[in-house]
Structure 1
Amino acid sequence: MILLYIQLINYRIFIVKWQFREAYMWSKYKDDVYQCIIVAIGCAIFGAGLDAFVLPHKLVSTGISGVGLILYYITGLSVGTWNVILNIPIFWAAWHWLGKRVVVNTLYGTVMLSWMVDAFDFLQYNMVISDPLLSSMMAGVTTGIGLGMVYRVGGNTGGLDPIALIVRKYYGLQMGSINSVINAAILAAAVFVVGLEAVAVTLVSLYVYTIITNKVVIGFNQRKVAFIITYRTYEVCDAVISKVGRGATIINGIGAYTRTPKQIVMVAVNLLQVNKLKEVIEEVDNEAFILITDAQEVIGKGFTTPVVPTSIENLVKECKDNAHYVEHKD
């Protein structure tokens, strides 16, 4: 009886240890699992948008996907296959000059994007929108949402970023300038394959894509920052905290005309709280001077948690972590 009791205790201890280990492993890797799922969904949306709205009208794009599209129109080999082929030498160069961590972090996104583009290949044979311009706009929306989701969780799909980082590392050029030059060359080459009209329509898609991607990464809820110049500083702060539900920061300043010290109250609010803020300030000090401006992003308590760095920022960080990385001053 005693032995049976001891065995039951040992079994219970084993179960508790197993549950603890499972909980620990899940807490350790749940962020990676979440990232992989979101990257897969984002790549699926991108692939569906590319096949449904770009390929039927023989439009193009920028980056490695743009080169893959051009080669697809010439050879008939799938875009996803070309995406993998074109990324192989880029990965080799990144592994050699930037470090293996850069390659490992982008390999999953690259493979997933290539696979999703080919998986939704059937959509190109059923033209969803007959108007090339509208189709281009929808392409920008869908691909922007897809890659925006990937970037928001810190994912990466390869492409031109490693090339830009290598050039930046050894020649000190700005990454944005490098990408712009390469993308301009891709669009110029596309003119000889799909024609000037298709490239012109593609520019609309790229414009929409840029806007949507930024909105998905940063968020659609626009933020505002209000600067309130008042002689009733603490009354305004108390009213903002109690009635608007936002914190405030007091900044010391000097009036340029009167040369007298002034205090400025800075408040960050969302779009729906702007009118309430103005009403509250009007109640406390109807002579206050209020300046309200847009804030691209507000990170902190009451707004959003820090967004994981985008693909380019991730790659830069990986390069800096590499022992052979040398920072060049611009």
Structure 2
Amino acid sequence: MWSNYKSDIYQFLVVTIGCAIFGAGIDAFVLPHKLVSTGVSGVGLILYYLTGLSVGTWNVILNIPIFWAAYHWLGKRVVINTLYGTIMVSWMIDWFGFLQYDMLIKDPLLSSMLAGVTTGVGLGIVYRVGGNTGGLDPIALIVRKYYGLQMGSINSIINGIILITAIWVVGIEAVAVTLVSLYVYTIITNKVVVGFNQRKVAFIITYRTDEVCKAVINRVGRGATIIDGIGAYTRTPKQIVMVAVNLLQVNKLKEVIEAADNQAFILITDAQEVIGKGFTTPLVPTPIEHLVKECETNAHYVKNREL
């Protein structure tokens, strides 16, 4: 019985922590300088400046029709996550309300940057465990599901309207400073969701596939995938060795490839996330001789195969 609810309890606990960080960031760095935000919370901030009713209260009120829409079109599970996240973030914003009166940071620009960091970390933590805090996320999901529009485009259009409206309430300078906060928030949120362990993927085009594979396996400690290709100009068959590594292994990888084939063409690009043995799960030890033998055998066949 406990195992059935363990993951849910963990999710709700992490969402609570994320909402607390988000709420503290809003009260400490956004409200003292009368800055704004995007999404439903941004509308709540505008209405708070106009009426004096708390941001948390407005956030709950504005999300009521969103709850109904999410239940009607997205299902019960989404509603539960949305309801909990919305209530928790609204409560945290009001609970940390005392921070807005201390003016911790005098400079509005620096305050907006710290707002981006704290709110980005908070919501990043929430998103990382599959939670959400209501607002535009369910709306974007519904529109994408039934009309095929991309969530990023939907959010951008709505947020643009909110920021333009905010100019008449807080002024263009406050909105301009808010853009800095939003930029920092976007970067931090993505970093928290994806993780700070950035991975790289290398594509090595070589005529010496055997030597390159041996070097990658023996000296870098990573597996590889052989992809067969053809040169566009010469129409000469070539083989591409694909390798996923972490940042600390990039220089080592370039070094061993240079030693194995100094004529190799190397393309190294970012990987948002790598899932599998050796990265998200422990690498099961495999005899190195077997890996090398398999690499040597597959180098002569037109197929893609992971070693």
TM-score by length of 1: 0.81
**Structure 2 matches for 1:169-208, cutoff 5 A?**
169-208=145-184
Are 1:59 and 2:29 counterparts? no
Q: Which residue of 1 aligns with 2:264?
A: 288
1:234 deviates by 1.8
Question: Are 1:167 and 2:143 an aligned pair?
Answer: yes
**Per-residue deviation, 1:171:** 4.0
Residues 62-111 of structure 1: per-residue CA shift (max 9 Å, x gap): 00100110111111111111111111121123223433332122111111
Residue 290 and residue 172 in structure 1: after superposition, are their counterparts in 2 closer, same or farther (change >3 A)? closer
| Structure 1 unaligned regions, length at least 5 | 1-24, 306-330
Alignment-derived partner of residue 317 in structure 1: none
Which of residues 44, 50, 56 in structure 1 aligns to 2:26?
50
Once residues 169 and 256 of structure 1 are traced to their aligned partners in structure 2, the CA distance between those partners, rounded to angstroms, is: 39
CA RMSD for the aligned pairs?
A: 1.5
Distance in 2 separating the partners of 1:226 and 1:162: 37
Task: Provide the rounded CA distance (Å) in 2 between the counterparts of 1:299 and 1:253.
Answer: 25
Match of 2:114 in 1: 138
1:194 is displaced (CA, Å) by 0.5
**Aligned partner of residue 162 in structure 2, secondary structure:** helix
Q: Which shifted more, 273-282 or 229-238?
A: 229-238
What residue is the counterpart of 2:304 in the other structure? none
- TM-superposed deviation, 1:128: 1.1
**What does residue 216 of structure 1 align with?**
192
Equivalent residue for 1:149, pick from 104, 125, 128: 125
- Higher mean alpha-carbon deviation, 162-171 vs 239-248, is at 162-171
SS at match of 1:267: strand
Spell out, residue by residue over 1:25-66, the C-alpha distance to the aligned partner (whole angstroms, 9 max, x if none).
Answer: 332222112111111111011011110000000000000100
- AA aligned to 1:83 is N
Q: Partner of 2:230 in structure 1? A: 254
- The structure with more radius of gyration: 1
Distance 1:167 1:257, change over 3 A: closer
| TM superposition shift of 1:227 | 1.2
Alignment partners' CA distance in 1, 2:146 and 2:206:
52
Distance in 1 of aligned mates of 2:150 and 2:254: 42
* 2:89 paired residue among 113, 116, 124: 113
Structure 2: tracts of 5 or more residues without a match: 282-307
Aligned match of 2:297: none
C-alpha distance in 2 between matches for 1:172 and 1:179: 14
Summarize deviations over 1:138-157 as a string: whole Å, max 9, x none. Answer: 10010000000000010111
Q: Which moved more, 1:155-164 or 1:242-251?
A: 155-164
Among residues 229, 245, 259, which one is paired with 1:269 in the alignment?
Answer: 245
